[in-house]
Amino acid sequence: MELIACDGTWQHAQDGTVLCTGTLQVVVGGGPFGLPPMTYTDANLLLIAIGTVWASVFAIRQARRLL
């Protein structure tokens, strides 16, 4: 996600739009601990890994219960 900053002041117009009286600047956003933000591919890989671990633990617990 990219954020913008204004080196002037923010003002509201009559129609509800927001105006910057100075110059707009893009603020480079980083995740926590200075890490780059996750992409959708990274998020999907993480979800697959979490699901695999959860399914493995569930299967092992069920097998132990049956033995």
Q: Specify the pTM.
A: 0.48
What pLDDT shows up at residue 31? 60
Q: Rounded to an integer, what is the distance from CA 15 to the centroid of its chain? A: 31
Locate all alpha helices (DSSP H) within 1-67, ordered by sequence.
Answer: 40-66
Enter the DSSP assignment of 41. Answer: H
| 6 class by beta-carbon count within 10 Å (0-12 exposed, 13-18 middle, 19+ buried) | middle
pLDDT tens sequence across 11-34: 998 898 999 999 998 887 666 666
Residue type, 18: V
pLDDT at 64 exceeding the cut of 90: yes
What pLDDT shows up at residue 42? 94
Q: Residue 12 corresponds to which tokens in the numbers above?
A: 């509201």
What pLDDT shows up at residue 30? 62
